[in-house]
Copies of this chain bind each other. A is one copy, B any other.
Amino acid sequence: MENVKRQLEPVPHTDVQFNDQFWTPRLEANHAVTIPHIYRQCVETDRVSAFDLNFYRPLPAPIVLIFGDSDIAKWVEAASLSLATRPDPDLETTLDQVADKIIHAQQTDGYLNTHFTVADPGMRWKNLRDWHELYCAGHLMEAAVAHYQATGNSKLLDALSRYADYIDQTFGREPHKKRGYCGHPEIELALVKLYQATNNPRYLELAAYFINERGAQPHYFDLEARERGENPSNYWFKNYEYCQAHLPIREQTKVVGHAVRAMYLLSAVADIAHEKNDFTLLETCERLWNNLVTKRMYLTGAIGPSRHNEGFTEDYDLPDESAYAETCATIGLIQWNHRMLQFSGESKYADVIERGLYNGFLSSISLTGDRFFYENPLASAGNHQRQHWFDCPCCPPNVARTLASLGQYFYSTSPNHMWVHLYAQGVASLEVDGNEVQVRQITNYPWDGEVKLEISIDHPRTFTVSLRVPDWCDEWQLEINGVSESNRWVQNGYLTIERTWQDGDTLTYAMQMPIQVIKAHPSVRDLQGKFALQRGPLVYCIEGTDHPGTSLDFISVNPQQILAGQFQVEHQDDFLGGISILRGAAEVMDESEWRGKLYRHTRPLSRPIEITAIPYYAWSNREPGEMRVWLRSIQA
């Protein structure tokens, strides 16, 4: 059997420091603003006091959903991850109190869920399909692992291990166990993390059981519905595609249903493929990845066009304005691709990570760090704004934990090999075959494609350095210690340099970063006749506020002029946190010519206009207004 174990291992975020102009302010805002903001919101919405198990006092309104435990769990995880790189005694104290509250809510049998302990005790494990019980358990496990790794204190990890033990006694193929699994995947990847943190192989086996049992016949969700006295065919989503349980995972050919569920499930599938050396699961991941990335992904790395199922519809169905494009789905996409990247170091997975991080993920949080998008559409009539909180607040703490652990996506190591996936100014400490290597990136990425890498090492060592050549990069130059090495070859999307490295060696890697004109596959009917602007990893957009008095739909742009260099890149340090804008000539149709007309067969007049494009992630940080990623191309 083919070996499908991962060859690469990510460098943990604790070993990667940023000191750049792009990410550092965001990580600081995450620590200083976002994490405290989310905590306050969780307190105010009784998500913290819920663990006192007396929350069924009269409330003004039922604002905590059935899966409220998961929100505070993600906050614990975010706070722990952030603390690991940014010591903060006050946060540490708060975190410890929350951990104690959670532990205190654990039942003697190990069960730990506030809703089903207090509000619906008789319904424990009665509706795995809809009620997110194991999903909440999973998030608590992830929190516990992060808490342990950040604090060294195992109390929360121990509590969640007891909960995992109880879940293990409850679910499985043995005759006395329920053959269930959660409608919302999450516990699977969490159990793998718990296994990695505790070395208890039962947790890995349980995760593998959940993956393998999913979609089997007779269908568990049918059985438990009948036990509740319900007709399974009354399921509100008609079939189990919604939760990826319509077929066993190895038989699935398209990425379907609720997008966050799909991504969390596939993250775990990739984990189990590695842990169990299971080629069929890796093959499944690759098949579904190909469907997703070549037919169902937005240019921004957002996924899931439909509000109806918070997820996928048909191939090439990628409407821009009505895109649901949930923040958590892009986060899940990043997590899954991070796992896929480690198998053999193919840059296509890092390309998706970079696309998601710089665009569909980063758009989800305001520059101030305290407002969030749940949905990340690629066009807006002006009615879509970031919110401080949501009734279903899954996204904000998910954003916080992703930012707090951002460093993990930048580097990997494999035997005798160091991988640089992403670029940002900062310093990373890696261990290559037991030798500590420090890499310093000096760069103004993503505003500039030149990256200088300085290697610090105790004594000369021979190993390979792989530098990712992003999918957007057609031309690059490389110098090693000032000597051109630009005819190096690129393997799986990485520039691969094997040599004996000396302390102080420098690599100067200059990625050409022109403004690019992106077109979508002709079958994406919503994007026909349109193009988008991208520069480096950043997708751009135009906002109404930069084009007063003009409806954005009336603007069209000649992409040939852009390719001919007639658009300018201007860096503005004081604008929207410091961004490079794109500026150039376009046309705007005369609105008066269309007054009272829906169709016309004579060519309408246009006049010239100068347009300004800003990075997509930075939109909606000023007054409300229109936004477009996809621009009308001037037509023949």
Q: Chain A: residues with CB nearer than 8 A to chain B?
A: 290, 293-295, 297, 299, 321, 379, 472, 474, 516-526, 528-531, 534, 551, 553-554, 558-560, 589, 594, 596-602, 604, 632-636
Contacts and interface: CB of A to CB of B under 8 A. Distances in A.
22 contacts: A294-B596, A299-B599, A321-B525, A472-B601, A518-B600, A519-B599, A519-B601, A521-B594, A521-B597, A522-B632, A523-B551, A523-B553, A524-B598, A525-B553, A528-B530, A529-B529, A529-B530, A531-B635, A558-B636, A559-B636, A633-B636, A636-B636
Q: Which of A519, A526, A534, A594 gathers the greatest number of chain B CB atoms within 10 Å? A: A519
A632 B528 contact: yes
Given A294-B596, A516-B601, A534-B601, 17 more contacts: A294-B598, A518-B599, A519-B601, A521-B599, A522-B551, A523-B551, A526-B526, A528-B529, A528-B632, A529-B529, A529-B632, A560-B636, A633-B635, A633-B636, A634-B635, A635-B635, A635-B636
Q: Which of A553, A558, A559, A560 gathers the greatest number of chain B CB atoms within 10 Å? A: A553
A295 B519 contact: no
Contacts of A290: 596
Smallest CB-CB A-B distances: 4 pairs: A529-B529, A516-B601, A633-B635, A522-B553
A599 B598 CA distance: 31
Nearest to A514: B601
Q: Which of A472, A521, A526, A594 gathers the greatest number of chain B CB atoms within 10 Å? A: A521
A321 B519 CA distance: 21
Given A551-B522, A554-B522, A601-B518, A634 B636 contact: yes
Contacts of A472: 601
A633 B530 CA distance: 10
B530 A601 contact: no
Contacts of A516: 601
Number of copies of chain A assembled together: 2
A355 to B, nearest CB: 9
Contacts of A525: 321, 379, 553
A346 B374 CA distance: 50
Contacts of A518: 599-601
A523 B522 CA distance: 21
A137 B345 CA distance: 73
A450 to B, nearest CB: 20
A528 B321 CA distance: 14
A526 B93 CA distance: 54
A310 B519 CA distance: 34
B522 A594 contact: yes
Given A520-B598, A522-B594, A529 B299 contact: no
Contacts of A551: 522-523
A634 B529 CA distance: 8
A600 B516 CA distance: 9
Contacts of A636: 558-560, 633-636
A591 B633 CA distance: 21
Contacts of A559: 635-636
A518 B599 CA distance: 6
Given A633-B529, A635-B635, A636-B558, A599 B523 contact: no
B560 A519 contact: no
A293 B598 CA distance: 7
A611 to B, nearest CB: 15
A553 to B, nearest CB: 5
Contacts of A534: 601
A599 B596 CA distance: 36
A596 B291 CA distance: 9
A277 to B, nearest CB: 28
Contacts of A634: 635-636
A564 to B, nearest CB: 11
A262 B152 CA distance: 69
B635 A520 contact: no
Contacts of A604: 519
Nearest to A588: B522
Contacts of A474: 602
Contacts of A635: 529, 531, 559, 633-636
A530 B517 CA distance: 19
A534 B523 CA distance: 24
Contacts of A602: 474
Contacts of A530: 528-529
Q: Which of A534, A558, A559, A594 gathers the greatest number of chain B CB atoms within 10 Å? A: A594
A379 B528 CA distance: 14
Q: Which of A524, A534, A601 gathers the greatest number of chain B CB atoms within 10 Å? A: A601
A143 to B, nearest CB: 35
A338 B113 CA distance: 67
A517 B524 CA distance: 23
A237 to B, nearest CB: 18
Nearest to A315: B598
